[in-house]
């Protein structure tokens, strides 16, 4: 990291000399295997507010991969050793960070994804929606709330999804944001599926206006610079497109000053960010963006029957109503949500242009339950701030204990979950009545 024209965070000048001596350029397809690894030859440059990032890049004969103007000011680029050296001493440059590999957050081990047609002429009440009682919400018109899915894109013609626009951060053509992986479409369906035909599946915030922000490629991998681009686009369009909720079911081990600053500014612009905790069975404090103080970080539970009481059959991850064995945990987690064997929308193909469906597991699936609940709350409380939304969701959540079902003041049965390793337990998100 180069900051304020000084070198810090990587061993000072020794690191700079070694980096310049060993630097090789990468292509967009040269993604490294491990999330959090540095991308050789690729950097994120932050310029101070008084200067135009495009002009700074041009002055160094740099062709930006992405320009940032809303959440941060700067650009991402592949740099030669000479360009890196001259930018490091340019007084207009505040910070240079190495670009990193970022991935969506599947469970440890083989992916547990079952892709299927949905031939039923009725709407399936999924276990996740049932467990948080989202189906009990009044059919509030959530279409006033824009929900950005910062992910692999969204299958734009899926019959269950209200996809209104998108942006591609992974290549030169910004209009190519259609989902070529499936993960982003699955996340989108959990948050906001349903177009009024009473078929397919229902999300927590039915018919929420979905924005596909493509920051991961068909393999589910991407760059930190692409994620920053996504946050920047969401922030720039928070007002004009009424994007008020964003979901990031992605991450990497470590942290980034640039991404942290971008998220903070996005939250200040009125965007509530729900983020997957990660699936390493570790403390979420070591993973970004889960460790950002301004996001709602979400861990996962397993629920087989959509009911409290731990009386359902076992899930693919273990007993009913238990903390997911793969889920990250820790004091930074605000909420838990269903994240095991979740049925949702999936990308289509030439034979199924209207989309498919899939069952998948991960904190990737837990986070959009919270994003949808945030959209529901925002639709009924237009003046709510991101902090107010987070506090309202936490306050309405169901305590982990007792696991047994107990009736609340309205007679609705509520209950928690168990086997959470966290000493500071988080509540289960509860969407009913939002």
Residue 406, beta-bridge partner list:
414
CA 354 to chain centre: 24
Q: Which residues contact 209 (CB under 8 A, 6 or more apart)?
A: 143, 144, 145, 146, 147, 162, 164, 192, 242
Token duo for residue 217: 């490629």
- The tokens for 392 are 């309202």
Please give the helix or strand (H or E) that residue 378 lies within, else none: helix 363-380
DSSP-derived 3-state class of residue 415: coil
DSSP one-letter string for 402-413: --S-EE-TTS-E
Instruction: Give catalytic status of residue 151 as yes or no.
Output: yes
Is 51 a residue of the active site? Answer: no
d(CA 170, CA 223): 8
Whole-number Cα distances in Å, 118 to 148, 262, 338, 347: 25, 39, 21, 13
**Could you tell me if 377 and 393 are in contact, meaning their C-beta atoms sit under 8 angstroms apart?**
yes
How many whole angstroms separate alpha carbon 394 and alpha carbon 397? 5
- The two beta strands, 209-214 and 163-168, are parallel
Active-site annotation holder among 99, 151, 217, 294:
151
CA Rg, the chain, in Å? 21
Catalytic residue among 118, 158, 183, 292: 183
What tokens appear for 206 in the block? 């039915």
Cα-flanking dihedrals φ and ψ of residue 287, to 5°? -130, 135
Q: Which of 225, 256, 361, 364 is catalytic?
A: 364
Strand ranges for 206-331 from DSSP E: 209-214, 221-223, 243-248, 250-253, 272-276, 287-288, 296-302, 322-323
In the sheet where 114-116 sits, what is the strand order? 114-116, 356-360, 342-346
Annotated catalytic residue 364: yes
Distance CA 222, CA 225 (A): 8
Query: Could you tell me which of 338, 363, 348, 365 has the C-alpha nearest to residue 430?
Result: 338
Q: How far apart (Å, rounded) are the C-alpha atoms in residues 214 and 222? A: 10
Q: Which residues are catalytic?
A: 151, 183, 364
């Amino acid at each position: 990291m180069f900051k304020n024209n000084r070198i810090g965070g990587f061993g000072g000048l020794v690191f700079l000399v070694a980096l310049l001596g060993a630097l090789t350029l990468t292509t967009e397809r040269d993604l490294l295997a491990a999330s959090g690894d540095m991308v050789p030859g690729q950097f994120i440059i932050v310029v101070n507010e008084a200067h135009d990032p495009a002009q700074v890049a041009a002055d160094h004969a740099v062709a930006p991969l992405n320009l940032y103007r809303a959440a941060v000011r700067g650009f991402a680029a592949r740099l030669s050793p000479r360009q890196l050296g001259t930018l490091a001493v340019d007084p207009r440059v505040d910070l240079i960070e190495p670009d990193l590999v970022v991935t969506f957050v599947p469970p440890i081990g083989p992916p547990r994804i079952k892709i299927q047609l949905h031939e039923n002429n009725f709407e399936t009440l999924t276990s996740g929606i049932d467990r948080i009682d989202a189906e009990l919400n009044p059919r509030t018109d959530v279409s006033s709330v824009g929900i950005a899915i910062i992910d692999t894109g969204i299958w734009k013609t899926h019959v269950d999804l209200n996809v209104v626009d998108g942006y591609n951060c992974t290549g030169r053509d910004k209009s190519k944001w259609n989902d070529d992986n499936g993960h982003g479409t699955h996340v989108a369906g959990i948050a906001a599926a349903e177009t009024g035909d009473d078929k397919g599946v229902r999300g927590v915030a039915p018919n929420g206006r979905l924005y596909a922000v493509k920051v991961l490629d068909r393999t589910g991998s991407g760059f930190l610079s692409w994620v920053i681009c996504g946050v920047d686009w969401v922030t720039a369009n928070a007002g004009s497109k009424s994007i008020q909720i964003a979901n990031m079911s992605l991450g990497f081990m470590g942290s980034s000053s640039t991404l942290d600053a971008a998220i903070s500014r996005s939250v200040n612009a009125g965007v509530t960010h729900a983020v997957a905790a990660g699936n390493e069975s570790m403390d979420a404090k070591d993973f970004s963006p889960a460790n950002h103080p301004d996001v709602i970080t979400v861990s996962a539970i397993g629920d087989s029957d959509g009911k409290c009481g731990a009386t359902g059959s076992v899930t693919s991850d273990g007993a009913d109503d238990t903390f997911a064995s793969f889920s990250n945990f820790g004091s930074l987690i605000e909420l838990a949500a269903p994240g095991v064997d979740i049925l949702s929308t999936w990308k289509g193909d030439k034979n199924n242009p209207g989309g498919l469906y899939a069952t998948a597991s991960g904190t990737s699936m837990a986070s959009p339950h919270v994003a949808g609940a945030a959209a529901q709350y925002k639709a009924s409380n237009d003046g709510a701030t991101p902090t107010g939304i987070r506090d309202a969701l936490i306050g309405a959540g169901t305590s982990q204990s007792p696991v047994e079902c107990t009736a609340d003041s309205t007679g609705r049965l509520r209950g928690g979950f168990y086997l959470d390793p966290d000493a500071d337990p988080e509540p289960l998100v509860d969407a009913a009545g939002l």
